[in-house]
Amino acid sequence: MRRRSFLYGTSTLLISQLLVGCNVSKQPQLTVQVLKGSIPGRILKQFQESLSAKAQLKFSPVVQLRELFNRLEKYHKYKTSGKKSEGFKISLPFTESQPSETDLVTLGDFWLKEAIANQLIQPLSREQLKNWSNLSSKWQELVERNSQGFVDKQGQIWAAPYRWGNTVIVYRRDKLEKFDWELQDWSDLWREELKGRISLLNQSREVIGLTLKKLGKSYNTENLQEVPSLEKELQTLSKQVKFYDSTNYLEPLIIGDTWLAVGWSNDIVSILSRYPQLSVVVPNSGTALWADLWVQPTGEVEKDLSNKWIDFCWEPHIAKEIALLTKGNSPVTTNIAASDILQPLQKLLLTNPQFDKSEFLLPLSKSSTEQYDSLFNAMKTG
C-alpha cells in the first residue's frame, strides 16, 4: 500500500477518450494526467454534457503522485532541450502509446514548491476561475505562492485543489479496549501501555510535526531550537515505536503485530470497512493536511477547457460526487450528510472540528528542513 496510490474499486478512473459528433479533429481537446482513483469516470461524462460546444476529453490515469511529478520534470526537460521525451504519453485503447502534450496534471501539494521553483508549471488565471470564490481562505492561501514556491498572499495562483485528506491514527479496537482511557489525541502515543506497539510514518515533518502539535506548537515551526523540550519528547516517543514506514504500515496492524499506526487517511479509508476491528481517530489538537491539485505544465496549453474543468470540479454538487465516489474530502462546501457515508468512514469524510486546528505541511527554508531531518535521524538511531 503506497501513499495516495491505493485503488478505489469501481470509482477508479479508467483511461478515457470521450469523442462526440463528427469532425473530431476540429474539436478542442483537453488532455489530462490524473492520479488514478481521484476522479470518477462518470464525472467526465457530466463535464462533457455541460459544455456548450463539443470537445475531446483525454484523461490518462497514473498510479502514484511521485510518478506524476517525475513526468512533469521529464516533460519540462523535453520542452527546454528540444529532444524527444519519454514524458507524457496517452495510452489509448487498441493503439500504441504515443508521446503527447498535456494541459493539466494532478500534483500533490508536497511537490508544489519544487514544481514552481523549477518552472515546471505556470500560474492559473484568477480572472478565468469563476468558482475561485467557492474556496475558503485556507485553500486559497495554500496555492498562492511566489516564484520560489513559498506561500505568499500577494502571489499568483499556481494550482487548484480538488481533493484532500489528513494524517490520522488508526488502531486495533480489540487491543485497546482493555485500558481505562480512550484514544483521542497525539499525546496518547506516549502512554506506557503502547510501548513497542506503534508504527510511525518514515517522514520527519510528520513525526516531528505531531510532536510539536502535542506541545501546542505548529507543524510549520521554523526553528526547532526554540522548543527546548522537543528532543526529549522525541526520545521518549522513539521507545514506543516498533518501526517507521510510509508504505507497508497497515499490514502489521491488521495481523495484530502492532496496535496503532499513524497514517494517511486515503490509505486507511480503503480498509476500514473490510476490517471491523480497526477504528480511526482524528487527533483533537489538529493534524497535518494533504491535497490533490490541478496544475498546468509550462508552455502552451488548452486554457479555456482547463479553466472550465477546474471550475466544474468546484461546483458544489460535482465536488460532492467526487468526494463520495473517491472516498475523499472536498475543498468546496458540499453539505454531505452522515447518512451519505458508511459509519466506519464518517470520522474521516465528514468535516470535523479538528479541521480548523489542522495545517498543511508548508515549505520551509533549507536550514529548517535540515533541522527536521537531523533531529528525526537522531530519534530513529538513538
- Per-residue pLDDT of 182-198, as tens digits, reads 999 999 999 999 999 99
Q: What's the pLDDT band for 1 if we cut at 50, 70, 90?
A: very low
* Average pLDDT score over residue span 344-353: 76
C-alpha cell at 244: 517507521
Give the number of C-alpha atoms closer than 13 A to the C-alpha of residue 187, restricted to the C-beta side: 8
CB 151 within 8 A of CB 145: yes
Closest CA to 83 of 74, 92, 93: 74
CB 45 within 8 A of CB 18: yes
Q: What's the length of the chain?
A: 382
| CA separation for the pair 16, 18 (Å, rounded) | 6
Residues carrying CATH 3.40.190.10, the chain: 9-164+290-349, 167-288+356-381
CB 65 within 8 A of CB 5: yes
- Residue 273 predicted with pLDDT over 90: no
- Residue 2 predicted with pLDDT over 80: no
Q: What's the pLDDT band for 351 if we cut at 50, 70, 90?
A: low
What is the dihedral sign for C-alpha 115, 116, 118, 122? positive
Please tell me the pTM assigned to this model: 0.87
| CA separation for the pair 31, 23 (Å, rounded) | 18
Closest CA to 114 of 376, 366, 371, 372: 366
Which carries the bigger pLDDT value, residue 317 or residue 342?
Answer: 317
* Average pLDDT score over residue span 16-37: 73
Architecture of domain 167-288+356-381: 3-Layer(aba) Sandwich (3.40)
Say what the pLDDT of residue 347 is: 79
* Average pLDDT score over residue span 267-279: 92
Question: DSSP state, 25?
Answer: G
Residue 313 backbone phi and psi in degrees, to 5: -65, -20
Q: What's the pLDDT band for 5 if we cut at 50, 70, 90?
A: very low
pLDDT tens readout for residues 159-173: 999 999 999 999 999
Say what the pLDDT of residue 100 is: 57
Crossing angle between the packed helical segments 303-313 and 316-326, to the nearest 10 degrees: 70
| CA separation for the pair 338, 345 (Å, rounded) | 10
Say what the pLDDT of residue 180 is: 94
Rg (CA), the chain: 22
Which of 74-78, 185-189, 347-351 is least confident?
347-351
Say what the pLDDT of residue 83 is: 53
Q: What's the pLDDT band for 26 if we cut at 50, 70, 90?
A: confident
In sequence order, the 6+-apart residues with CB closer than 8 A to the CB of 6 are 37, 266, 267, 270
In sequence order, the 6+-apart residues with CB closer than 8 A to the CB of 53 are 27, 28
CATH number listed for the domain at residues 9-164+290-349: 3.40.190.10
- Residue 48 predicted with pLDDT over 90: yes
Q: What's the pLDDT band for 62 if we cut at 50, 70, 90?
A: very high
Say what the pLDDT of residue 339 is: 81
- Residue 278 predicted with pLDDT over 70: yes
CB 5 within 8 A of CB 246: no
Q: How far is CA 346 from CA 161, 257, 325, in A?
A: 22, 26, 14
Provide the percentage of residues in the chain whose pLDDT is more than 90: 76
In sequence order, the 6+-apart residues with CB closer than 8 A to the CB of 30 are 55, 56, 57, 58, 103, 104, 302, 305, 306, 309
The distance of Cα 118 from the centroid of its chain, to the nearest Å, equals 21
What is the dihedral sign for C-alpha 316, 289, 157, 68? negative
pLDDT tens readout for residues 224-256: 999 999 999 999 999 999 999 999 999 999 999
Average pLDDT value over all residues in the chain: 88
